[in-house]
Amino acid sequence: MKKEVPFKGIIAYPITPFNESGQVDIGLYKQLLERLITSGSHGVAPLGSTGVLPYLSDEEKEAIVTASVQQTDKRVPVLVGVSSLTTERTVHHAKFAEQAGATAVMIIPMSYWKLTDDEIFRHYDTVAEQLSIPIMAYNNPATGGVDMSPALLKRLLQIPSVTMIKESTGDVQRMHYLRRELGEEVAFYNGSNPLALAAFATGARGWCTAAPNLIPELNNQLYEAVSNNNLDLAREVFYRQFSLLQFIVAKGLPRSVQAGLRIKQLNGGHLRAPLQQLTQEEYTQLEKLLGQ
Amino acid sequence: MKKEVPFKGIIAYPITPFNESGQVDIGLYKQLLERLITSGSHGVAPLGSTGVLPYLSDEEKEAIVTASVQQTDKRVPVLVGVSSLTTERTVHHAKFAEQAGATAVMIIPMSYWKLTDDEIFRHYDTVAEQLSIPIMAYNNPATGGVDMSPALLKRLLQIPSVTMIKESTGDVQRMHYLRRELGEEVAFYNGSNPLALAAFATGARGWCTAAPNLIPELNNQLYEAVSNNNLDLAREVFYRQFSLLQFIVAKGLPRSVQAGLRIKQLNGGHLRAPLQQLTQEEYTQLEKLLGQ
Amino acid sequence: MKKEVPFKGIIAYPITPFNESGQVDIGLYKQLLERLITSGSHGVAPLGSTGVLPYLSDEEKEAIVTASVQQTDKRVPVLVGVSSLTTERTVHHAKFAEQAGATAVMIIPMSYWKLTDDEIFRHYDTVAEQLSIPIMAYNNPATGGVDMSPALLKRLLQIPSVTMIKESTGDVQRMHYLRRELGEEVAFYNGSNPLALAAFATGARGWCTAAPNLIPELNNQLYEAVSNNNLDLAREVFYRQFSLLQFIVAKGLPRSVQAGLRIKQLNGGHLRAPLQQLTQEEYTQLEKLLGQ
Amino acid sequence: MKKEVPFKGIIAYPITPFNESGQVDIGLYKQLLERLITSGSHGVAPLGSTGVLPYLSDEEKEAIVTASVQQTDKRVPVLVGVSSLTTERTVHHAKFAEQAGATAVMIIPMSYWKLTDDEIFRHYDTVAEQLSIPIMAYNNPATGGVDMSPALLKRLLQIPSVTMIKESTGDVQRMHYLRRELGEEVAFYNGSNPLALAAFATGARGWCTAAPNLIPELNNQLYEAVSNNNLDLAREVFYRQFSLLQFIVAKGLPRSVQAGLRIKQLNGGHLRAPLQQLTQEEYTQLEKLLGQ
């Protein structure tokens, strides 16, 4: 079976904006998604960490999926986050995404209890059996609570529809291992913003990032430089965005993007508690980083 | 304001059992809870990690709370876990618990995004404002994803209804800090099973544990020895249960308790996916540890 | 073969004082050692970390050993640190200590390169073959650079003259493992000051500490309370010294003891570079902790 | 003052070979050093970790320095490791190296006690005052026991003769910080073998490595590809050596190089205890990695 790998380049993560009374603002969401597409992202990824997936009710998640597919209208591929704590809920959301027209789904084995390798494999396998679109397996111990070893990721790739791996540990050695253990053809993606240059250097196929909400040109230029085999330019472009990448990771992607949009005189809506706005000091720092 | 501290000694955590078709089995739950009470636990704590709180729907959580209060019938105090990712859901469940008759609620600041200290304080404060029963603040980076510093815990204790702290990092130094920073009268509880002896030695007021599902006598004897100022006996009793405590933590509390009940020829019901039963090898190990 | 275990209780670590021109001050050293003995320590341990072993030349080390045995004059047992980076130098110093009249030697597998378990075993075994006094194996990853697993420590105990283990990781679980894996009769000692209470609770036979240079009465009272099976008193006495124990570990034992002696209007001599005196702020903190 | 930076590219670390009776074999050392020079290294670095600096007596160190300068005969620059635990010994060895004709010295703040930032700064400053050749400050917590922050490294660069930084933490983010904090012109070098590609991508000026003892062509090709701004080729060349780089780090550089030379039918001499030869299994692995 030929592995279907529909993503490469800059895969942009929209935030989920809320209105003043705390409800998801679908109209505003569509505007923010449109900006990501028209500014040159090669794919979009609703319901990631940036989109505060775990803070949404089932109905809210479904509204976001439907809006994403409609708004994108096949201009770029759509990667939908469907991670849930139980297997049953994960299947439910994955099937919804497929029926709504998503290109692929992304699944992190969210853990409250530390899951065994067998439990994680069974989790992915159960979802895959009921799905016909590809799956991106996502490793991010910091948010998911589970650290999938390269050996486990290799095992997951035996499931035909698991065709992509997103690595967010921020450890470049993981990418070396993946490439050595899984072969040159494995499609791995970087999810750690400050690792963008090193990850592309090691052969990452794409960069999953919330940064295009704020600095799409710099993000795109980095990918183009790498694609053109121009390391010197890639390095230069990377260092021009490094401080911002660090900032948005340190302060949290939804909080930073929401404030950054305000700084750029765009509407980023409201956050959902317990998340709170950046402090004034953080806001001022971000203004400087955005050159405003 | 006098701080109300309704818990001490052995605070027992029931599992949430499922039937073959994957639904919560309330009848069986009541039987398991009854065993914890009649075997001598000084309090019970439904909807903890052991009770797979994050895997349950809102309706299931509410059914467990109602059943717990009814079955306990004021023989021992009832501590209900109400942690949710958003503040709004936490308030909802805390109010339900209070109305149902719970003695106190336990809240861990569940995190997907790493919350700031201000966000965590606001989270607790918002819940406390709408509640009149005491709150136990729970620190467990391994499951909650957030590590609250002693300084933050000190700040939380300024909220009048936050009267108890549960520490599950497994680091005995944390308890030294808590006692030094918060004074001799601070009510802290140990949630790390293999730390039971050391925690009581440092002055922990109680032990939050799933072990009474399997070895209630040994758990109670440890507390009694400490209460009687008999360190030599406490040490001896602790080492008799240490290997089992390590095992249930290493293999996961719901999985271990469910299997252990089976070994003791009791009905522990089924697990909810992604959790899977112990492997045969693990089961055999547990049989030996339970002396069966 | 009966294991010879000559140490228990409070094992006190003297500093190595220097004079103004940077040479070891043997006369002052003897005075400081005498204070440790007459204030009630159950053993003394020259050339530990507190005695800046790695900063001394071979001649200086030998002068300290000779002075220690003479001054102690068999009133308490003497444990001499003989750790060196190469096996050859370790054998040399261990034989010197034995001939000078030391009761036992302490060896940490100092590492520049991370040694394998086989290399460490061979290191101890080579020394033991040329020695007839007992050896205390010392585990302290923070200063030695190697973390010996409980399994390796168990293997080391197969060498007849390795009869004692000193654990300084500060992790009380290590002591639980040692006791379970090695049996109730294993002689283990705690080398982590802030763990003193918890370690005695778990069954440590002694406490290796620099604290008797400053607060011998409190150290002795803790051991007596534990020996008398009085946990409540032990806890109370421990919390009275906890802040000081933390301080001397955080700021470094030689620096803290040297300053503390000055505060107590005693002569602690000078330090050897790169070590520098406490800052004025640290000095003031220590004054408060010593109640002066 | 213009900062003098005499190193770039591949900086090769020779081992220190011993003869059967355990003495340094200077004749063999010169042969091994000659191989490093003639195979194209851009600099050589005697008395590094690879050269087991801490296992040598003062006389042995001095013999190695003299032999290195003679054998190199100005064909490439010579970087001499002079790290010692005390400041006095570090000054001694640095002055010896300068007088013998070394190009620069490398200093890691070897620590037994965790040194404060002030102690480390004073240590470097004291050495620099007595020296007229440049100093490379070396950060390697794994062997040196101290982790110098980017802020401290920035402070060290205020000392005029500290002109180069070697980073061996293996964390690519450190290099991003260094470049951002210290400016584009800071000369930093990578000392973590598996990070070679990522480090060059981020702008490292050289690679300090023992690998040229075994695979000099691949090491040189990586540097050339980067210098030619050919990322695709650099990536390809890196993956051809990655498994070997990992192996020599995991098993220890002196042990791996000594065995690898034997596999290549060259004489690597003997090791000094506690170091022991590779096991048979490790040796067989290394044979495969070297394609023999």
- The pLDDT tens digits of the residues spanning A198-210 come to 999 999 999 999 9
| B contact chains, 3+ CB pairs < 8 A | A, C
pLDDT at res. B242: 97
Which residues from chain B sit within 8 angstroms of residue C235, using beta carbons?
A: 201-203
Q: What is the average pLDDT value for chain B, to the nearest integer?
A: 95
Across residues B30-43, what is the average pLDDT?
98
Residue B180 touches partner C, C-beta closer than 8 Å: yes
pLDDT at res. A292: 73
Across residues D55-83, what is the average pLDDT?
97
Confidence of residue A183 (pLDDT cuts 50, 70, 90): confident
**Rounded-to-integer distance, Cα A139 and Cα D174, Å:** 23
pLDDT tens readout for residues D147-165: 899 899 999 999 999 999 9
Q: Chain B, 248-287: which have a CB under 8 Å from a chain A CB?
A: 252-255, 272-276, 279
C126 and C154 Cβ atoms separated by less than 8 Å: no
The distance from CA B115 to its chain's CA centroid, rounded to whole angstroms, is: 22
Q: Which one is catalytic: D13, D29, D124, D138?
A: D138
Residue D145 has pLDDT above 80, yes or no: no
Question: What Å distances lie between residue A283 and A120, A247, B114, CA to CA?
Answer: 39, 11, 18
Which residues from chain B sit within 8 angstroms of residue A112, using beta carbons?
A: 49, 52-55, 143
Shortest distance between the Cα of B239 and any Cα of chain C, in A, equals 8
End-to-end CA distance of chain C: 51
pLDDT at res. D189: 97
Residue A110 has pLDDT above 90, yes or no: no
What tokens appear for C121 in the block? 């075993």
Of A81, A166, A151, the closest CA to residue A121 belongs to A151
The distance from CA D103 to its chain's CA centroid, rounded to whole angstroms, is: 14
Which residues from chain B sit within 8 angstroms of residue A142, using beta carbons?
A: 114
Across residues C164-191, what is the average pLDDT?
91
What tokens appear for B221 in the block? 């004897």
A165 and A186 Cβ atoms separated by less than 8 Å: yes
Interface contact flag, A229 D234, Cβ < 8 Å:
no
Residue C112 annotated as catalytic = no
Shortest distance between the Cα of B257 and any Cα of chain C, in A, equals 22
Residue C243 touches partner B, C-beta closer than 8 Å: yes
Interface contact flag, B202 C235, Cβ < 8 Å:
yes
pLDDT at res. D56: 96
pLDDT at res. A2: 56
Considering only the beta carbons, identify the residue of C194, C201, C235 that sits closest to B197.
C201
Q: Which residue of C has its CA nearest to B171?
A: C171
Of C213, C207, C237, the closest CA to residue C11 belongs to C207
Q: Which one is catalytic: D124, D166, D189, D251?
A: D166
Interface contact flag, D273 C122, Cβ < 8 Å:
yes
Catalytic residues of B: 138, 166
Shortest distance between the Cα of A22 and any Cα of chain B, in A, equals 10
pTM listed for this prediction: 0.93
Q: Which residue of A has its CA nearest to D181?
A: A243
Question: What Å distances lie between residue A252 and A168, A258, D137, D270, CA to CA?
Answer: 14, 10, 34, 53
Q: Which of A7-21, B150-164, B177-191, C197-211 has the lowest mean pLDDT?
A: B177-191
Residue A173 touches partner D, C-beta closer than 8 Å: yes
Shortest distance between the Cα of D24 and any Cα of chain A, in A, equals 36
pLDDT tens readout for residues A25-74: 999 999 999 999 999 999 999 999 999 999 999 999 999 999 999 999 99
How many CB atoms neighbour CB D23 within 10 A? 11
Mutate to test the interface with D, among C113, C122, C147 (most CBs of D within 10 A): C113
The kind and range of the H/E element at C259 are helix C253-263
pLDDT at res. A259: 98
* C and A touching (3 or more beta-carbon pairs closer than 8 Å): no
Q: CB within 8 A of A9, min separation 6: which ones?
A: A41, A42, A43, A206, A207, A223
pLDDT at res. C184: 78
Residue B85 touches partner A, C-beta closer than 8 Å: yes
Above pLDDT 70, what percent of chain D? 99
Residue C1 has pLDDT above 70, yes or no: no
Q: What is the average pLDDT value for chain D, to the nearest integer?
A: 95
Question: What Å distances lie between residue B192 and B247, C43, C77, CA to CA?
Answer: 12, 35, 38
Of D57, D47, D56, the closest CA to residue D14 belongs to D47
What tokens appear for B159 in the block? 């909220």
Interface contact flag, A87 B273, Cβ < 8 Å:
yes
Residue D200 has pLDDT above 60, yes or no: yes
Residue D93 has pLDDT above 60, yes or no: yes
pLDDT at res. A114: 80
What tokens appear for D82 in the block? 């002079």
Residue A1 has pLDDT above 50, yes or no: no
Which residues from chain B sit within 8 angstroms of residue A275, using beta carbons?
A: 113, 115, 119
Strands of B43-44's sheet, edge to edge? B43-44, B9-12, B206-209, B187-190, B162-167, B135-139, B104-107, B79-81
Q: What is the average pLDDT value for chain A, to the nearest integer?
A: 95
* Angle between helix B231-251 and C172-182 (nearest 10): 100
Q: Helix or strand or coil: residue A64?
A: helix
Shortest distance between the Cα of A47 and any Cα of chain B, in A, equals 13
What structural domains and CATH numbers belong to chain B?
9-231 (3.20.20.70)
**Rounded-to-integer distance, Cα D259 and Cα A226, Å:** 38
Above pLDDT 90, what percent of chain D? 88
Above pLDDT 70, what percent of chain B? 99
pLDDT tens readout for residues C180-215: 888 877 899 999 999 999 999 999 999 999 999 999
Which residues from chain C sit within 8 angstroms of residue D281, using beta carbons?
A: none
Confidence of residue D10 (pLDDT cuts 50, 70, 90): very high
Q: Which one is catalytic: C166, C189, C223, C251?
A: C166
**Rounded-to-integer distance, Cα B59 and Cα D112, Å:** 58
Q: Given its phi and psi angles, is residue D74 left (phi above 0), alpha (psi -120 to 50 degrees) or beta?
A: left
Where do the H-state alpha helices sit in D77-116?
Answer: 87-100
The kind and range of the H/E element at D176 are helix D172-182
Across residues A124-139, what is the average pLDDT?
97
Which residues from chain C sit within 8 angstroms of residue D273, using beta carbons?
A: 86-88, 119, 122-123, 126
Of B48, B13, B47, B19, the closest CA to residue B32 belongs to B13
Residue B22 touches partner A, C-beta closer than 8 Å: yes
Q: Given its phi and psi angles, is residue A73 left (phi above 0), alpha (psi -120 to 50 degrees) or beta?
A: left
Mutate to test the interface with D, among A173, A200, A228 (most CBs of D within 10 A): A173
Residue D166 annotated as catalytic = yes
**Rounded-to-integer distance, Cα D245 and Cα D207, Å:** 12
Where do the H-state alpha helices sit in B74-171?
Answer: 87-100, 117-129, 141-144, 150-156
- pLDDT higher at D144 or D35: D35
Confidence of residue B2 (pLDDT cuts 50, 70, 90): low
Confidence of residue C111 (pLDDT cuts 50, 70, 90): confident
B107 and B137 Cβ atoms separated by less than 8 Å: yes
**Rounded-to-integer distance, Cα B71 and Cα B137, Å:** 25
pLDDT at res. C2: 56
Confidence of residue B1 (pLDDT cuts 50, 70, 90): very low
Residue D54 touches partner C, C-beta closer than 8 Å: yes
What tokens appear for C23 in the block? 């040479």
**Rounded-to-integer distance, Cα B22 and Cα C222, Å:** 54
pLDDT tens readout for residues C228-238: 999 999 999 99
Mutate to test the interface with A, among D167, D171, D176, D184 (most CBs of A within 10 A): D176
Q: CB within 8 A of D171, min separation 6: which ones?
A: none
Mutate to test the interface with C, among D47, D53, D89, D116 (most CBs of C within 10 A): D116
Shortest distance between the Cα of D237 and any Cα of chain A, in A, equals 11
D244 and D221 Cβ atoms separated by less than 8 Å: no
